[in-house]
Amino acid sequence: MENLKIAAAQFENRSGDKEYNLNVIRQLAAKAAAQGVQVIAFHECSLTGYTFAMHFSRQQMLDLAEFIPDGPSVKKLTAMAKELDIVILAGLFEKDAEGRIYKAQVCVDKNGLVAKYRKLHPFINKHLTPGDQYVIFDLFGWKCSILICYDNNIIENVRAVKLLGADLIFMPHVTMCTPSTRPGAGFVDPALWKNRQADPTTLRQEFDGLKGRAWLMKWLPARAYDNAVYAIFSNPIGMDDDQLKNGCSMIIDPFGDIIAECRSFDNEIAIAVLTAQKITDAGGSRYIKARRPELYGHIIAQPHKSEQKVVWMNAEE
């Protein structure tokens, strides 16, 4: 595989304002393309916004969602990819011909849709249908996959796509700065965002502490390290509806090291060059070869009742 130059982006999306979000995506994609970037990855629901859809009715969700690849947003993304000669990954709500609604991430290039992935563990709205398959696709000779937000917290998903051949996993999120049963978790006061120019220190402490980045560091690098993959983490910065998000979009190599990260409060990109040598040199590559699935394959495959509880959501959800 040849070296791959890639960007992870962060920006403050506007709820339901696809035109605005597409415009920001274009600005950041153009900035990346001017620096020779081949692929740029944006966060979960970057085209539509995310949290504002929590209480939407089924009809409101259908009105917000689009068909893929024939909806207007994917067509505009494709035109953008062609104009800038860059591969773009972005997220939106999808609907199908039977009226099912999904949380989707698309990958487009100048020729159209390269890949589409539906989130396996959606929870922001009760009318969403879970996806039921993994996706593996090729970009510039690299085998890639996508796992959206909560999908990455279930460790079997990351190992599964690695075993299917992925050496690079795009991990679009809208995460951090929400309540949880873990110590130190909670919302970050939106007033700190409004006052970020006068007092950046307090906001940065909140963003980097256990409400935000410090929690992410407990598990995200391990996903890359254990599986010898590059992890492309993208997350919004600023207000997503009434919730403040801390960005820190980053690229993590197969050693679990952060090789690029967004560290400002601005719409920003983090750029890194990916090399294939790290994949085979990393410890995770050896660990995978040393597996003994005859000991635990049947244990992992045991049927169970899937259950997920999201503390910060309304009980009715």
Summarised one tens digit per residue, pLDDT across range 285-299 is: 999 999 999 999 999
In the Cβ-directed half-sphere of 315, how many Cα atoms lie within 13 Å? 0
What is residue 316's predicted lDDT score, i.e. its pLDDT? 36
The Cβ of residue 100 has, within 10 Å, a number of other Cβ atoms equal to: 14
Helix axes 220-227, 155-163, angle to 10 degrees: 30
What is the homologous superfamily of the domain 4-300 according to CATH?
A: Carbon-nitrogen hydrolase (3.60.110.10)
What is residue 308's predicted lDDT score, i.e. its pLDDT? 74
Q: The tokens of 28 are what?
A: 């950041």
Handedness of CA 290, 293, 295, 299 (dihedral sign): positive
What is residue 314's predicted lDDT score, i.e. its pLDDT? 52
What is residue 312's predicted lDDT score, i.e. its pLDDT? 66
Across the chain, what does the average pLDDT equal? 96
Summarised one tens digit per residue, pLDDT across range 54-109 is: 999 999 999 999 999 999 999 999 999 999 999 999 999 999 999 999 999 999 99
pLDDT greater than 70 at residue 252: yes
Query: How do the domains of the chain map onto residue ranges?
Result: 4-300
